[in-house]
Amino acid sequence: MIKFKGFFVTVLALNVIVVQIAMASVISTGDYNKDFFVEWSPSHVNTSADGGTRTLRLDKESGARFASNDMFLFGQFDMQIKLVPGYSAGTVVTFYLLSGQPNHDEIDFEFLGNVLGQPYILQTNVFTSGMGYREERITLWFDPTVEFHTYSIHWNIHQIVFMVDSIPIRTYRNHADKGVGYPRSQPMPVMASIWDGSDWATGGGRDKVNWSKAPFIASYGSYKMDACVWKGNPRVCEEANSENWWNQESWSSLTGVQRRFLKWVREYHMVYDYCQDNERFNGSLPLECSLP
């Protein structure tokens, strides 16, 4: 009996150790109530009883936003989102990282709603030191309003990779040594929101929110934050050790398979790339546009 108990305890202890190793750097609990706080309009936020899913509502009165309790410097952030069904023109649903003002850094997923029959547009952007003119826009290869899909920001000392269901849709490389801005010193919380972008989001402001179709509801599902929690010392987060696996050499560039997917997305789904907008930049594109 005692022997049996002893054996049982050993197996249990082993399990605990294995789980701890595998989860060494995952700092999220999966419970919205524990990892995030509602920053804007609690009356427009609903969280499931188990804390595992959350909805944000936009109506004539208000939108809504929540933010993580912790701030991070590098890591991977995965968020499941189901977008506003039906007529969603003028609405903007977001998932992003944002440092404090002024001269802030920001890494954005912005989902731009549309009129019926027209696809959602996914805009990504990177701000460095308060400058954000780096928009890219793509259409998705599925209807993002029907089911949850996973949107990921992988941010390390070498590059930022935006992913949709693990497929890279964009990279932004660290060329700070050549004078290109890169978010690498300011910690950022994870944020998500829904708001009225009538003046720019759809057709450059042509199609506005139609309030007779409100409320507009976006759903957030499972999420994971596997990242370096900011405790005041940037060196801890810059290290490329097993804890900060995202900083390791193997994550400094895409794999061959990832590269092929990225090429496919850019060939068939890209609708706007600031690096091809000569007119906007009077013929002198930002420096990073000519770097590999």
List residues bridging with 179 in a β-sheet. Answer: none
> Per-residue string for binding with ligand NAG, 165-204, x by CB under 6 A?
----------------------------------------
Distance CA 160, CA 227 (A): 13
Tell me the window of 12-20, 105-113, 167-175, 209-217 that interacts with ligand NAG (CB under 6 A): 209-217
Judged by CB under 6 A, the number of residues near ligand NAG is 9
Q: Specify the residue, 43 or 242, whose C-beta has the smaller distance to ligand NAG.
A: 43
Residue from 3, 21, 86, 212 that binds ligand NAG (CB under 6 A)? 212
With CB under 6 A as the contact rule, the residue among 160, 217, 237, 265 that binds ligand NAG is 217
Residue 76: name the closest of 193, 172, 161, 183 by CA. 161
Q: Does 55 bind ligand NAG (CB under 6 A)?
A: yes
Q: Is there a catalytic annotation at residue 106?
A: yes
Stretch that binds ligand NAG, among 74-82, 180-188, 208-216, 272-280 (CB under 6 A): 208-216
Q: Which of 28, 35, 41, 57 binds ligand NAG (CB under 6 A)?
A: 57
Give the count of beta carbons closer than 10 Å to the beta carbon of residue 279: 7
Give buried/exposed letters for 41-69 (b at 16+ CB in 10 A, else e): beebbebeeeeebbbbbbbeeebbbbbbe
DSSP for 140-186, written as a single string = -SS-TTTS-EEEEEEE-SSEEEEEETTEEEEEEE--GGGT-----SS
Q: CA–CA separation, 119 vs 138, rounded Å?
A: 10
Residue 242 Cα distances to 71, 96, 227, angstroms: 20, 25, 12
Closest distance to ligand NAG from the beta carbon of 48 (Å): 10
Q: How far apart are CA 136 and CA 161, in angstroms?
A: 13
Token code pair at residue 162? 């935006």
Residue 109: other Cβ atoms inside 10 A: 23
- The residue range among 38-46, 159-167, 222-230, 250-258 that interacts with ligand NAG, by the rule CB under 6 A, is 38-46
- CB 212, min distance to ligand NAG, A: 4
- CB within 8 A of 143, min separation 6: which ones? none
Query: Does 44 interact with ligand NAG (rule: CB under 6 A)?
Result: yes
Asked if residue 46 binds ligand NAG (CB under 6 A), the reply is yes
Task: Catalytic residue, from 61, 106, 135, 147: name it.
Answer: 106
**Would you count residue 82 as binding ligand NAG (CB under 6 A)?**
no
Question: How near is the Cβ of 151 to ligand NAG at its closest, in Å?
Answer: 20
Question: CA–CA distance from 180 to each of 184, 198, 292 (Å)?
Answer: 12, 32, 12
Active site residue 243: no
| The one segment of 42-50, 103-111, 158-166, 262-270 that binds ligand NAG by CB under 6 A | 42-50
- The residue ranges that bind ligand NAG (CB under 6 A) are 44-46, 55, 57, 210, 212-213, 217
Active-site residues, by number, are 106, 110
